[in-house]
Amino acid sequence: MWKRRRDVVDHTHTHTHSQESGHSSRLYAGEVSDEHLSKLVSSRRSKGQRSGGICNNSKMSWRSSFRCSKFRHVFGKPSTKEHGYDGVPITRGVHDNHYCSANPCFLAVVTESAGGGSFLVLPIHHTGRVDPQHPRVCGHSGSVLDVKWNPFDDHCIASCSEDCTVKIWDIPVCGVQQNLTRARKTLMGHSRRVALIEWHPTARDLLLSSAYDYKVLLWDVSQAGAVLRYPVRVVLMPVHHRCPSDALLLSVSFSSDGSRLAVTSKDRRVRVLDPRTGRILQVSRSKSHRASKVLYIGGLKMLLSTGSSPWNHRQIVLWDPDDLSEPLYEEDLDGSAGVLFPFYDPDTHMLYLAGKGDGNIRYYELSTEKPYIRFLTENRSLLPQKGLGVMPKRGLDVSACEVFRFYRLIAIKDLVEPLSMIVPRKESGIFQEDLYPMTAGNQAAMTALEWLSGINRSPVLMSLKPGTRVANPYPESPAERRLVRQLSSLRFQMDPAVTGSELDFMEEAFLEEQLAYQDAKYPREVSDLSGWQPDETQTPTYRCTPHCCEPAERPPPTTESETARRDQRPARNA
């Protein structure tokens, strides 16, 4: 067998070499000498180098870097039903939002409700079956469209709704023990439903909102007052009664330092804005890509957008944020109709794509060199996802080599399923320094006023190694320290390893504390908001009568018989 294989191989190589060298005589396998074989191997190597093949390592360095990647074996590990959140009445809304937000303390999920809008706030470790009567945050009169946790305060969450308002809520440490109906702040600057909200990545208390009134506003939620009617910046707004399609946003994404804002609009183009002035810096002109979601790729100086092609194939496209004239990379994925949500991990340079209504999550690895992106594998599930939440890096289990964690909303099962992305390692239980570099922490780099004055700062980094603390390079002012102490005095930490009797006692104490907390922070003399009307004196070029107002306690609508009797009363009196 070995001699026959050698004869065939030697005969093929010898025949080819004889043709290349111009020899007309036919050589047989038994007549091939060692010197002849060495010449043949050397000629093959030189020919491969001249043709730019695999042997040319300098020109194909991107292949070798991807091949030796430590993330090529990442796999998804779904949690068991006992470690999930079962019985959550997930919203039936049709907006292309995540409907979920997570941090190391809480999980927030937008829920279906009979009247008004509400969302659940669950402690992150209280898994299992959720009580159907669990208290909710239910201060909106319209459906809640999205929720976002403050990246620098794990007990502060923002919500936007169809009632044209954005609300800022404070969640006590042990969670919501009774229905919360009064927010710390109510932002009233929009006259149509608010579809998008996004916190600034480096500045404290700076929130962006976008609504169907074609306005994009920036708010400083640290300003005094329970009701804020004037934003600190108007990024986009209609001019001379015109409502351009580029002002109705589908998605927003800040750069890592917050100096640039990438958006996709109803006209399905990608734009890069200056969020301080609203000036448009770049606009995409590609006719082969209709963008729906956009994401800044931090560290690689790229933008990624997901959308569809003219043939309705789902696409991913990479852009240079300084030049959107043509894409750097473009790839068609499949013919499904669900919107693709992109998620990026700047520490591992991994990209995750999850489609609305899909059961799978694809993950890729990105690079600064061509072809820029490499498919790794995908996690498949039979249950479709309606939305997804993502745990910040500081909330991951580093002892299990967890590099990413999703919270999949499975509406058909009323289930929230945690899905962990794991890097397999032989030695588990120890900190893997190569998997966890310094990452963005929960400390702000500056205040909202500093950012508005033109200062740009990178995120404050932290180490995920247990017991390691990194000093903040931007020290806090005395006023900021005082505010943190005031907020922390209203909250208490609960030991997770308490007994049942101690837990009952602490829950009773917490209920009393929460009532006192609500009374102290929201005095009873706060004026009612039912008669609120927007003040348009600051925007003379755009006037519109809002179709909604702040929720108020009103009697139910009258029936036709009651209306007829009411109309007859003035006639009898006359």
Residue with tokens 């800040």: 254
Q: Which helix (H) or strand (E) holds 415?
A: strand 415-422
Interatomic CA distance for residues 166 and 195, integer angstroms: 10
Nearest of 124, 245, 249, 238 to residue 174 by alpha carbon: 124
Interatomic CA distance for residues 569 and 402, integer angstroms: 71
Residue 459 DSSP label: P
- In the predicted model, what is the mean pLDDT of residues 536-565? 41
Q: Are strands 227-228 and 185-187 parallel, antiparallel or unpaired?
A: parallel
- Our CA angle for 282, 283, 286, nearest 5°, is 135
- Estimate the crossing angle of helix 34-50 against helix 2-21, to 10 degrees: 60
Interatomic CA distance for residues 201 and 297, integer angstroms: 14
Q: Which two tokens stand for residue 73?
A: 């074996």
Interatomic CA distance for residues 462 and 452, integer angstroms: 25
- The pLDDT score that the predictor gives to residue 36 is 54
For the cut 60, the answer to whether the pLDDT of residue 81 exceeds it is yes
Interatomic CA distance for residues 341 and 363, integer angstroms: 12
User: Is the separation of the CB atoms in 526 and 227 below 8 Å?
Assistant: no
- The pLDDT score that the predictor gives to residue 427 is 78
pLDDT confidence bin for 67, thresholds 50/70/90: low
For the cut 90, the answer to whether the pLDDT of residue 447 exceeds it is yes
Q: Which two tokens stand for residue 288?
A: 């082969």
Residue with tokens 């659940």: 120
For the cut 50, the answer to whether the pLDDT of residue 2 exceeds it is no
**Which is more confidently placed, 172 or 343?**
343
Tell me the per-residue pLDDT of 39-54, one tens digit each, with 9 for 90 and over: 544 554 444 443 343 3
Quick one: 75-422 is in which CATH superfamily?
A: YVTN repeat-like/Quinoprotein amine dehydrogenase (2.130.10.10)
Interatomic CA distance for residues 486 and 271, integer angstroms: 41
pLDDT confidence bin for 566, thresholds 50/70/90: low
> Strands, DSSP E only, in 450-552?
461-462
User: Is the separation of the CB atoms in 367 and 374 below 8 Å?
Assistant: yes
Q: What percent of the chain has pLDDT over 70?
A: 69
CA atoms within 13 A on the CB side of 301: 5
Q: Which helix (H) or strand (E) holds 546?
A: none
Nearest of 195, 148, 220 to residue 392 by alpha carbon: 148
Nearest of 555, 550, 557, 546 to residue 531 by alpha carbon: 550
Interatomic CA distance for residues 59 and 355, integer angstroms: 35
pLDDT confidence bin for 241, thresholds 50/70/90: low
Domain chopping of the chain, boundaries: 75-422
Q: Helix (H, G, I), strand (E, B), or coil: what is residue 110?
A: strand
Interatomic CA distance for residues 246 and 267, integer angstroms: 6
Tell me the per-residue pLDDT of 92-126, one tens digit each, with 9 for 90 and over: 998 999 999 999 999 999 999 887 899 999 999 99
For the cut 80, the answer to whether the pLDDT of residue 254 exceeds it is yes
CB neighbourhood size of 364 (10 A): 22
- The pLDDT score that the predictor gives to residue 537 is 36
Cβ burial 98-111 (10 Å sphere, 16+ → b, else e): bbbbbbebbbbbbb
Query: Per mean pLDDT, which of 17-26, 286-295, 501-510, 517-526 is the most reliable?
Result: 286-295
- The pLDDT score that the predictor gives to residue 538 is 38
Residue 96 DSSP label: S
For the cut 60, the answer to whether the pLDDT of residue 445 exceeds it is yes
For the cut 80, the answer to whether the pLDDT of residue 522 exceeds it is no
- DSSP assignment of 288-310 equals S-EEEEEEEETTTTEEEEEEE-T
Mean pLDDT over all residues of the chain?
Answer: 79
Q: Which helix (H) or strand (E) holds 7?
A: helix 2-21
Tell me the per-residue pLDDT of 158-215, one tens digit each, with 9 for 90 and over: 999 999 999 999 998 888 999 999 999 999 999 999 999 999 999 999 999 999 999 9
**Residues sharing a CB contact under 8 Å with residue 451, sequence separation 6 or more, in sequence order:** 200, 202, 203, 206, 258
CB neighbourhood size of 498 (10 A): 12
